[in-house]
Structure 1
Amino acid sequence: MSEEPGRRRRGRPTEIVRRPSGQGAPLSHRPSDDQPTSAAILDAAQYVLLREGTKGLTLVAVARHAHVDVTTVSYHFGTRAGLIEALMDRLYADPTADFAERASTLDDPASRFRTYLQGVRRMYEDRTATQAYFEIATLALRDPALRVRLGRLLTWTVAAFSEAIAAQPDALPPLPLAELVYAAVDGIEMHHALVGDSYPTDAVLDLLETLTAPYLEGSEPRADSPTQPDRGPTPS
Structure 2
Amino acid sequence: MRQNPARRAALLDAAIEVLAREGSRGLTLRAVDAGAGVPVGTSSNYFANRAELLRQIMERTGERLTPDPEALAETMKAPTSPELVALLLRQVHERMEADRSSYLAMMELRLEGVRRPELGAELNKRLRATLEDNIRFHEEAGLPGDRVAVILMYLAVHGMIVDDLMVPDVLAGSAGELIDELCKRLLAYGTRETA
TM-score interval for Structure 1 and Structure 2 normalised by the shorter chain: 0.7 to 0.9
Letter of the 1:84 partner, please give it.
L
Q: Which 4+ residue blocks in structure 1 deviate beyond 4 angstroms?
A: 99-102
Q: State which of 114, 119, 122 in structure 1 corresponds to 2:87.
A: 114
**How far apart in 2 are the matches of 1:38 and 1:161?**
28
- Give 1 or 2 for the bigger CA radius of gyration: 1
The C-alpha deviation readout for 1:98-154, integer Å capped at 9, x for no partner, is: 266644552554436623422323413544333323112111122111111101111
Q: Structure 1 stretches of 5 or more lacking a match?
A: 1-28, 226-236
**How far apart in 2 are the matches of 1:49 and 1:136?**
9
C-alpha displacement of 1:60: 2.3
Q: How do residues 56-205 of structure 1 correspond to structure 2 at under 5 angstroms?
A: 56-69=26-39, 72-92=42-62, 94-96=64-66, 98=67, 102-104=71-73, 106-107=76-77, 108-110=79-81, 111=84, 114-167=87-140, 174-197=146-169, 198-205=172-179
1:48 maps to 2:48: no
Using the size of structure 2 for normalisation, the TM-score is: 0.77
**Residue 26 of structure 2: SS of its match in structure 1?**
coil
**Residue 77 of structure 1: SS of its match in structure 2?**
coil
Using the size of structure 1 for normalisation, the TM-score is: 0.65
The C-alpha deviation readout for 1:55-101, integer Å capped at 9, x for no partner, is: 221222212322334554234333221221121123346524x2666
Q: Are the structure 2 counterparts of residues 177 and 91 from structure 1 closer, same or farther at C-alpha, using a change threshold of 3 Å?
A: farther
Q: State which of 178, 198, 206 in structure 1 corresponds to 2:180.
A: 206
**How far apart in 1 are the matches of 2:31 and 2:137?**
38
Q: Which has the higher contact order (CA 8 A, sep 6+)?
A: 2
Higher helix share: 2
Percentage of matched positions with identical amino acids: 29
Whether the aligned pair in 1 keeps the contact of 2:113 and 2:123 (CA below 8 Å) is yes
**How far apart in 2 are the matches of 1:153 and 1:161?**
12
C-alpha displacement of 1:173: 6.2
Q: Are the structure 2 counterparts of residues 214 and 70 from structure 1 closer, same or farther at C-alpha, using a change threshold of 3 Å?
A: farther
Q: Indicate the residue corresponding to 2:191 in structure 1.
A: 221
Number of residue-to-residue matches in the alignment: 188
